[in-house]
Amino acid sequence: MTIVAALAREPHSNFQFQQVSLAELRPDEILVEIRGVGICHTDIAARDGIYGLPYPIVLGHEGSGVVTTVGAGVTTVAPGDHVVVSFNSCGRCTSCTSGNPAYCRDFAVENYIGTRPDGSRALESEAGPVYSHFFGQSSFATHAVVNQRNVVAVDADLKLAQLGPLGCGLQTGAGAVMRSMRCHAGSSLIILGAGPVGLAAVMAARIQGCSPILVVEPHEARRTMATDMGATHTIDPTADGDLAEGVRRIVPGGVDYVFDTTGRVDVIRSAIAAVGCNAVLGLVGVPSDFSVDLPLNIVSTMQTGLTVKGIVEGDSDPSEFIPELIGHYRAGRFPFDKMITTFPLSAINEAVAAQHRGDVVKAVLVPDADLQNVV
């Protein structure tokens, strides 16, 4: 079978479309026709070489679509099912068998090497090998080969194209608040950054009953959206003075929870100066340099009882958490669709640029007829 995919060929370059050949499915694999796929910062970081992946590679890891074919061993979905595709996991390690697949022992091998865990590939081109299986999907394409462990069936009445971001960014932000940190009703929370992950955290904080909910974000439009989604206070770090002082004017005793989506040490340290006793700091922001350390004063950390928690995918089991988030969406408590702007897949490079400029909060690519003209 031949599909069309957007290939990353070298760091800091535009995606290029190409026809690629798809190998026969293995017994535990599923072919999904992609109806929508979110663009995440992780995709761009991978394109630009931060993960050391081989080129050319098909990225994309927030896919949604329709199952077209299933392998002989697949029991979870059938052709015609609507699905959201999330991260992959081995299903065998202690983390997976205890309901914590986000901390799968083989997470890197299942999601970050550009091939199946055994080193084989599902894609080829006339010019040679094409790497894929990014987050077990590589959904910047018309179709994606996925595993039955990383697909979640959803109801057919939902707008399928917009559901893909639930598989990564949105479950990360919401899960951080609802699962990783378990923010309780009446607790105070500061969210650093109001991109898709931060905004998902805002909505989750409202669901949890947090108050106040503070958001630190330099873009005015995103601060406005954060307020619309439940933030009680917003702070412009470029204009509102010292962050810790500003937070303590709102929460004199210091905040209970800090959630960072920026990966910036200076921002995180400013927020730490605003915490109260027994606060929790949750980290999901990935710095551009993996060697960056976060300095903590040992005595101050002990005296305040600060807990620092690294978070992957919001501690989510997608098979359970994505349906939970959809339930909140149906009830009007998780209106994530407000942050989505759709672009045709053929306009992927324009969509990446618009998201980078801050013109849109969450770009989602949908199929279009112009693909045949860009190959």
- Say yes or no: 204 and 351 in one domain: no
Tell me the pairing of strands 189-192 and 255-260.
parallel
Question: 240 falls in which pLDDT band (50, 70, 90)?
Answer: confident
Instruction: Look at residue 329 and tell me if it is in a domain.
Output: no
Q: What average pLDDT does this structure show over 101-130?
A: 94
- Say yes or no: 88 and 221 in one domain: no
Q: 225, 227, 179, 234: which is closest to 204 by C-alpha?
A: 179
Q: Which residue has the higher pLDDT, 5 or 289?
A: 5
Question: 290 falls in which pLDDT band (50, 70, 90)?
Answer: confident
Phi and psi for 185 in degrees, rounded to 5? Answer: -55, 135
- Say yes or no: 9 and 124 in one domain: yes
Q: What's the pLDDT tens digit per position in 329-339?
A: 999 999 999 99
pLDDT of residue 258: 98
- Say yes or no: 132 and 14 in one domain: yes
- Say yes or no: 303 and 361 in one domain: no
Share of the chain above pLDDT 90, in %: 94
pLDDT of residue 340: 97
- The span from the CA of 230 to the CA of 213, in Å, is 8
- Say yes or no: 177 and 76 in one domain: no
Q: What's the pLDDT tens digit per position in 308-324?
A: 999 999 999 999 999 99
The pLDDT of residue 375 is above 80:
no
Q: Which residue has the higher pLDDT, 369 or 307?
A: 307
pLDDT of residue 374: 66
Instruction: Look at residue 214 and tell me if it is in a domain.
Output: yes
Instruction: Look at residue 277 and tell me if it is in a domain.
Output: yes
What count of other Cβ atoms lies within 10 Å of the Cβ of residue 22?
19
- Say yes or no: 266 and 149 in one domain: no
Tell me the pairing of strands 16-22 and 123-125.
antiparallel
Instruction: Look at residue 321 and tell me if it is in a domain.
Output: no
Kindly state the tokens that stand for 99.
């309901």
Give the 3-state secondary structure of the chain: CEEEEEEECCCCCCCEEEEEEECCCCCCEEEEEEEEEECCHHHHHHHCCCCCCCCCEECCCCEEEEEEEECCCCCCCCCCCEEEECCCCCCCCHHHHCCCHHHCCCHHHHHCCCCCCCCCCCEEECCEEEECCHHHCCCCECEEEEEHHHEEEECCCCCHHHCHHHHCHHHHHHHHHHHHCCCCCCCCEEEECCCHHHHHHHHHHHHHCCCCEEEECCCHHHHHHHHHCCCCEEECCCCCCCHHHHHHHHCCCCEEEEEECCCCHHHHHHHHCCEEEEEEEEECCCCCCCCCCCCCCHHHHHHHCCEEEECCHHHCCHHHHHHHHHHHHHCCCCCHHHHEEEEEHHHHHHHHHHHHHCCCCEEEEECCCCHHHHC
- Say yes or no: 352 and 247 in one domain: no
CA 255 from centre of chain: 25
Instruction: Count how many domains the chain has.
Output: 2
Instruction: Look at residue 325 and tell me if it is in a domain.
Output: no
CATH code where residue 275 lies = 3.40.50.720
- Say yes or no: 159 and 194 in one domain: no
Instruction: Look at residue 340 and tell me if it is in a domain.
Output: yes
Amino acid symbol at 297: N
CA 105 from centre of chain: 20
Instruction: Look at residue 343 and tell me if it is in a domain.
Output: yes
- Say yes or no: 213 and 133 in one domain: no
Q: What's the pLDDT tens digit per position in 221-234?
A: 999 999 999 999 99
The pLDDT of residue 369 is above 90:
no
Contact between residue 86 and residue 150 where contact means Cβ atoms under 8 Å apart:
yes
- Say yes or no: 231 and 367 in one domain: no
The pLDDT of residue 370 is above 80:
no
Tell me what the pLDDT averaged over the chain comes to: 96
- Say yes or no: 105 and 194 in one domain: no
Q: What's the pLDDT tens digit per position in 63-99?
A: 999 999 999 999 999 999 999 999 999 999 999 999 9
CATH code where residue 354 lies = 3.90.180.10
pLDDT of residue 288: 82
Q: What average pLDDT does this structure show over 142-160?
A: 96
Instruction: Look at residue 133 and tell me if it is in a domain.
Output: yes
Give the range of the structural domain holding residue 268, as residue numbers without chain letter. Answer: 173-311
The pLDDT of residue 212 is above 70:
yes
- The span from the CA of 172 to the CA of 327, in Å, is 17
pLDDT of residue 127: 85
Predicted TM-score (pTM) of the model is 0.95
